[in-house]
Structure 1
Amino acid sequence: MTFRIRDNQLPKPQPVPGKVRRIAWDDPSLAAVHDRFAAKTHGCLVRNALAWDEYWRWDVDDEVVAMYYDAADEPQGYLVYLLKREIFKIKEMVYLNDEARRGMWDYVTAHYSMVTEVSGCNYTNHSLAFTLEDSDIRETVQPYVMARIVDFAAFIMSYNFAEASSGDAITFRIHDKVLDWNEQEFTVRFHADGTHTLSAEPSPYTAEMSIGTATCMLMGYKRPAYLKSIDRLTADAKTTALLERLIPTGKAYFSDYI
């Protein structure tokens, strides 16, 4: 999701106990805050040194990094931006709590006299317009990145299911025209200790789908009930309800390589 905000639509300053300071692009606190953000954010890339090198490859000389510090002087969020031709271009805004979000938008608003527009990228399950007093802004959503499960068995064994109960079981009947090791049934059984295993014994609850549908469903891009309604998922009502309970809500956040 991309957005554009006119200068007269910027949010009014809100008092926060912390402060914003500019830091160097290679300050270790930047990567540390992103690691904390990625750990609690669905689908976010965990950036290693190579990923950070790619992140800075093009505009590092012109981009500015601003960090929000709380009252205890602990970093809680950062803003990477470029100010050029009266446009405040937000490359990335990451915050660990709402205080940091408000503090960084106060920082953006402080540039009111220098800009005519603020633009940037967001993620689709967080509408910026909803948080603004003047919500008549332009938000544009377009497909950006494709995901693909290469090894369904390995993926499903490391998947963090939500609200699974001991004794639950579901069979995924996967169709994959490219990778034959995915072209089979996978039965997942849940146990009292919170773990799950693959079982050779089928479950009475079977969901049939392509590997592409499985990917977008398990990554949270589309919900099971919707996929069933457009014939991308074959399952009865009880199986669909079970999938709705097992799969975490929330869409994946992926802001790299924009």
Structure 2
Amino acid sequence: MLVRELTEKDYIESLKLSEYAFQYKVPESEIPARLERLRNHKVLGIWDEDILAAKLHIYPLSIYMKDAEWKMGGIAGVATYPEYRRNGYVNTLMIDSLEHMRNNHQIVSLLHPFDISFYRKYGWEILNETKKVTIEKMNLRFLEPQQGFIRRFSRETHNEDIEKVYQQYSAQFTGMLKRETYWWKQHVYDKDSQMAVYYQPNKEAMGYMLYHMKDSKMEVQELVALDHEARVGLWNFICQHDSMVGTVTIHLASQDPFPYFLQHPNVKIELHPYFMARVVDAEECLRRFPFLLENEPLFLHFEDSHAPWNNGSYLLGKGDLKVFKEKVGGQCVHPPKKGIRLNINSLSAILFGYKRPIELYEMGYLKGSKPEIEIFEKKVPALKSSFIDFF
């Protein structure tokens, strides 16, 4: 089964497969722009003679790991025509994509799952959860007035103040996408979006909310605040629409303190798993990860059935990393007597801060002695994962 990277002459076939698999139709006037965007992707495909039977897109992106940037491969557009399903085509594409990403130094990968259990088989694990808050008009009650002011923008008037707020906000988390200006205009805004920015009296932007209104409903797609003043200022701006809307829906990071600080915080809250993440290159990720170094050395033994270059034993020392990959019959073998054994899913959950080592140990995902788990727990800093984009 041959996987081939698509070239420009194949892009229209890729678009046709997406339209069929995801059941939408691109207007004729928008096709040139859609095809132009594919120039920025790597599209892998499997062919049956001249028919594109299955495909997978890799977006070359970067994410923030607090104040660091890591290259990331974003998986999207995984599709197969019905007559070619259950032939192992997607399996082949998923495994092949890992090698492509590794060769391009994309050391981690993110995707939005149609089925979490499906992608877990290939090593991706839950990255974050989103919080959806629904507020009825009667609960739109103002908090104390703030000294700052609101200015509204659109895709056409988008400015760097908004990008600076997002970048500062992203540095609090692991997993947030590094957004270039083109990404804001092509992927963040839609044709109905408006942007409200909260400014302090000195004209420094401290928060924003991206929203749209339709049929007496306001949907806040993003609400980002750098401090509580901005958070309250944006909430009061929402309340200013009390004569225009009957319901407000706000999408937030799961760690956001909203609605705790409201006068009446008893509102409808829904929590959902959102994106998934995977370590593509374990050695490089471990070298870059900000482990706390004042603890004892610790062995980690990895199993990665789909990316065998990750298999091996890794010694976390005080400021250094040693890698041991003894090969027997072409397979990497892990010394079983000392250290913690874990798969790539668990490593991904730990490095992104979605789960702590002790949590995974208690659920049976980490194998090792309790003292070793406690050492690992001390080595991993407290992190919070988040992701608010979509691709």
State if a TM-score over 0.5 links the two structures.
yes
Rg larger in structure: 2
Letter in 2 for 1:126: D
Distance 1:16 1:7 in 2: 22
> Are 2:166 and 1:34 aligned?
yes
Distance 1:200 1:252 in 2: 27
Shift of 1:39: 2.3
Deviations 1:186-221 (A, max 9, x none): 11212xxxxx2212589x972211001110122111
Equivalent residue in structure 1 for 2:303, among 156, 169, 175: 175
Q: Paired residue for 1:62? A: 192
Which stretch has the larger CA shift, 223-232 or 19-28?
Answer: 19-28
> Are 2:149 and 1:16 aligned?
no
Q: Paired residue for 2:321? A: 198
Q: Paired residue for 1:210? A: 343
Distance 2:359 2:387 in 1: 22
> Are 2:270 and 1:137 aligned?
no
Distance 2:154 2:323 in 1: 54
Structure 1 segments of 4 or more deviating over 3 A? none
Cα 1:50–1:5 shift into 2, 3 Å:
same
TM-score normalised according to structure 1 size? 0.88
Distance 2:153 2:185 in 1: 17
Shift of 1:30: 1.4
Which stretch has the larger CA shift, 246-255 or 87-96?
Answer: 246-255
Distance 1:129 1:109 in 2: 14
Distance 1:176 1:125 in 2: 30
Deviations 1:5-32 (A, max 9, x none): 1112234222212111112432222112
More strand as a share of residues: 2
Which stretch has the larger CA shift, 219-228 or 42-51?
Answer: 42-51
Q: Paired residue for 2:229? A: 99
> Are 2:245 and 1:115 aligned?
yes
1:243 is paired with a residue whose SS is helix
User: Contact 1:82–1:88 at 8 Å: present in 2 too?
Assistant: yes
Q: Paired residue for 2:11? A: none
User: Contact 2:350–2:356 at 8 Å: present in 1 too?
Assistant: yes
Deviations 1:26-50 (A, max 9, x none): 2222112212222233321111244
User: Contact 2:299–2:314 at 8 Å: present in 1 too?
Assistant: yes
Distance 1:170 1:240 in 2: 9
| Structure with greater contact order relative to length (CA < 8 Å, sep ≥ 6) | 1
RMSD: 2.1
User: Contact 1:125–1:250 at 8 Å: present in 2 too?
Assistant: no
Any unmatched runs of 5+ in structure 2? 1-130, 325-334
The number of residue pairs the alignment matches comes to: 248
2:388 is paired with a residue whose SS is coil
TM-score normalised according to structure 2 size? 0.59
User: Contact 1:169–1:205 at 8 Å: present in 2 too?
Assistant: no
